Structures are given as C-alpha cells and as structure tokens.
Copies of this chain bind each other. A is one copy, B any other.
Amino acid sequence: MSYKIKDLSLASEGKKQIEWAERHMPTLMEIRKRFEAEKPLKGINISAVLHVTKETAALVKTLKMGGANVALAGSNPLSTQDDVAAALVEEGISVFAWKGENETEYYSNIESIVKIHEPNIVMDDGADLHVYIHEKVSSKLDIYGGTEETTTGVIRLKAMEKDGVLKYPLIAVNNAYTKYLFDNRYGTGQSAIDGILRATNILIAGKIAVVAGYGWVGRGIANRLRGMGARVIVTEVDPIRALEAVMDGFDVMPIAEASKVGDIFVTATGNTKAIRVEHMLNMKDGAILSNAGHFNVEVDVKGLKETAVKVRNIRPYVDEYTLPNGKKVYLLADGRLVNLAAAEGHPSEVMDMSFANQALAVEYLVKNRGKLEKKVYNMPMELDYEVARIKLKSMGIQIDELTEEQKEYLEQWKSGT
C-alpha cells in the first residue's frame, strides 16, 4: 500500500483521537455496523479529498469496512492532523496528506490518489478533485459518481453542469437538510463562541455582541450569545431576515450604529467587508472583532492593517491594532473562521450527520450505477430522513409514525378536496 504522511509513529495517538470522535458519531457508527455486515462497497475504489481529521477518519474507516479501497488526500494544506493520518495508514487507507503542504505538494497529493487506483467514486470538499479529474485526467475512468461536501464546491459543479461538461453524476451532500440545517446553526453557533472564549477568556454576560448576518450561522451564534448572557444586536441587509431577528427579540440596526456600541463583533454574512475601516473607527476602545464566515473577507482585515498605526500580538489568536484615533481593537485569528482557528471547529456530533450523509450517498451511487444522469443531484430525501432517523435512535429518542388514517387525511387534504 502506497502512502505519504508525516510520521507513522504518531498512529497510536491518532487512534485515540479517532476513538473519541467515533464515540460522538453514533449515526455513522450505526451505518458502519450495517456496512460491515453487508459490504455494499465491496471492491469499489474511492478517491477522496477531505480535511484529514479524526471525524473524516471515522468516515473513511466506515467506507473501508463496507468493502471499499480508499485513497485520501487533504482538502486544505493546513488542516491535516498528522497523528490521524498515521492511524489511518495503519488501518490500510492510502493517505497522502500532512500538515503544512505547499501548493505543489497539495496538487501532487491529489494526483496520487487518482493514480493509485481507478476511482469508481470521487468524494470532495471544495471540488478541487472533481475539477482535477475533469480537466487533467484524459484516460477513461469508470466513475459511478461523486459527492460534494461544501456550498462552494456545489456552486462550482453547478456551473460545470450548466456548461454541459460534467462527466459523472454528483450528489450535493451539502444540500442535505441533516447537514446544512444542523452544522451551521448548532455547530458553528457553539464553536464560534468556543473560539472567542479560548482566544480571549472574556465574560460574555453583560457584553453587547454584534452579529453581522442572520442566516443559519448568524442565528446560531446570536442565540448562543444570548444564552451566555450577552445583549445581542443583529445587522442585516435582507429586510425579511431583519424582521425575523426583531421578532426573535434581538436589536437590529445598521453596522454604522452597531459599531459604536458593540463589545464583541462576529461576522456571518457570506459577503465581503461586512465590517469596514469606517466602522472600526467608530468602535469603543477594546472592541473585539471576529469572523465565523467561510472566507476571511468579512472583516476588512486588509483595510485594518493599512489603517492601524501599531500592531502587536497579545495572546494566541489575539492581535491588538492601534487606530489613528488612539483606540485599540482586537482582531481574533486574523479574521479567519474563529471556530476553526481558535477552537477545534465543528464538534464530532455535527460531522456525524454530515458524514453519515456521505456514507449513504456513496452507497447510493454504487447501487444506482448507470441509472443517474450527469448532473448535480440533491441528497435523496429518503436518505436525508434515514440519517435523521438513525441519529434520533442513537440518542435514544423515539418519534411517532403516521397512522393509516392520518396518511389518508394528508393525501386527501393536499389534493384539495
């Protein structure tokens, strides 16, 4: 078996990490049990580009136990946990990833996992692998289909679909309800606060927190901040979302106003420059700036750096910027995703649902080989429900089922008679 990682001797440490993750990923573990028994992926070659973390390890091991051969590269040059990579190699996974790859190494690793075997299934997180296969691989491959984990990746693939260039069917795992309804709201909602606390150790109670954006991420963060005792202000550009925020009991105002009163700022807009230098100049001395959106453009870090008269590091992930007006603002994690940078990203419980969808999506592609068109499919609703059902069961929670009479009633009612 071929692989390329940092240090195989880290495997035992990595194994404990993976165990801890698996313990908090009961949905995936339930699927693994079935995969082990049924071997639905028997002989299937999978090439996957994913963050090489303990949770991904739990997924990849599950695929292998289902019968697949898996080759794995990292989806980000900085996110690989080297001990986990080592443990995976010991489990028989062909891993090509280490923390701190340069760009050449990153793409070379992607190349390796395609060359190592002829993939039947292509799993991706950001679509770099899909694009690579479409653009660089000329040999004819027997690919049943692929999956995509992220919003960004899905957008890229849909653009390819529109241009008619897709070479195999794709499942947008990202669009599963059991993924996006949960990871944004509950995952980022908690971990953003975790990141802020680890970086600053401030008391949230009594503070005025400003959350830019009231999408799923913003809602999650706003609710959790309120749950910790903050007074929360929401800023929005969408009047319907703004109105929901008001009805949910939050203060809503333009960032130009909010910037004058906030103690802590968290951006979650999905847009650029939600907080600009003009707003920073408004801020109270000591204001804390952080970002929970995917890209590090929501706080205008570049503008801040150009404007500041002095910068120094205070604590890990806390940089102090002295503004021309003499006031200081504190930027967390250089404006990058505060939950990933200053804490540990999504808890395993959240990845559990995301990766349960991945496992079921892979099985679906194998089962439906040749039946799907070359387009981007949403996660099949029955699998989405299946994930929710297993998760609930794993938590010891039972729910009701429709009686025959209720099914008829709904049927009848929807048909409008």
* B348 touching A229, Cβ below 8 Å: no
A1 within 8 A of B: no
Beyond A206-B243, A271-B409, A273-B406, 17 additional contacts (C-beta under 8 Å) are: A16-B314, A19-B314, A20-B315, A155-B413, A159-B416, A181-B244, A182-B243, A190-B229, A194-B201, A197-B343, A203-B347, A226-B249, A227-B229, A229-B248, A253-B399, A272-B405, A272-B409
Contact of A398 among B204, B231, B253, B297 (CB under 8 A): B253
A252 within 8 A of B: yes
A254 within 8 A of B: yes
Known contacts A228-B224, A247-B185, A399-B236; A242/B392 CB under 8 A? yes
Contact of A401 among B177, B227, B228, B237 (CB under 8 A): B237
Contact of A271 among B242, B398, B406 (CB under 8 A): B406
A344 within 8 A of B: yes
Within the complex, the shortest CB–CB distance from A249 to chain B, in Å, comes to: 5
Chain B residues lying within 8 Å of A203, measured Cβ to Cβ, are 24, 186-187, 190, 347-350
Known contacts A186-B229, A272-B409, A397-B246; A239/B388 CB under 8 A? yes
A414 within 8 A of B: yes
* B272 touching A250, Cβ below 8 Å: no
**Distance A203 CA – B21 CA, assembled complex (angstroms):** 12
* A252 touching B399, Cβ below 8 Å: yes
Chain B residue at minimum C-beta to C-beta distance from A195: B197
Residue ranges of A at the interface with B (Cβ–Cβ < 8 Å):
16-17, 19-20, 23-24, 155-156, 158-159, 177-178, 181-182, 185-187, 189-190, 194, 197-198, 201-206, 224, 226-231, 235-240, 242-244, 246-257, 270-273, 286, 297, 314-315, 318, 343-344, 347-350, 384-385, 388-389, 391-392, 395, 397-403, 405-406, 409-410, 413-417
**Distance A268 CA – B286 CA, assembled complex (angstroms):** 33
* B182 touching A247, Cβ below 8 Å: yes
**Distance A187 CA – B155 CA, assembled complex (angstroms):** 37
**Distance A348 CA – B406 CA, assembled complex (angstroms):** 34
* B181 touching A398, Cβ below 8 Å: no
Chain B residues lying within 8 Å of A273, measured Cβ to Cβ, are 403, 405-406
**Distance A19 CA – B202 CA, assembled complex (angstroms):** 13
Contact of A392 among B205, B226, B235, B239 (CB under 8 A): B239
**Distance A348 CA – B201 CA, assembled complex (angstroms):** 8
Contact of A397 among B253, B318, B410 (CB under 8 A): B253
Within the complex, the shortest CB–CB distance from A1 to chain B, in Å, comes to: 28
**Distance A227 CA – B228 CA, assembled complex (angstroms):** 6
Chain B residues lying within 8 Å of A405, measured Cβ to Cβ, are 272-273
Within the complex, the shortest CB–CB distance from A180 to chain B, in Å, comes to: 11
Chain B residues lying within 8 Å of A388, measured Cβ to Cβ, are 239-240, 242-243
Chain B residues lying within 8 Å of A251, measured Cβ to Cβ, are 231
Within the complex, the shortest CB–CB distance from A53 to chain B, in Å, comes to: 11
**Distance A155 CA – B413 CA, assembled complex (angstroms):** 8
Chain B residue at minimum C-beta to C-beta distance from A388: B239
Contact of A156 among B17, B297, B343, B416 (CB under 8 A): B416
**Distance A197 CA – B195 CA, assembled complex (angstroms):** 10
* A271 touching B397, Cβ below 8 Å: no
* A254 touching B286, Cβ below 8 Å: no
**Distance A314 CA – B181 CA, assembled complex (angstroms):** 31
**Distance A405 CA – B237 CA, assembled complex (angstroms):** 14
Known contacts A271-B410, A388-B239; A229/B254 CB under 8 A? no
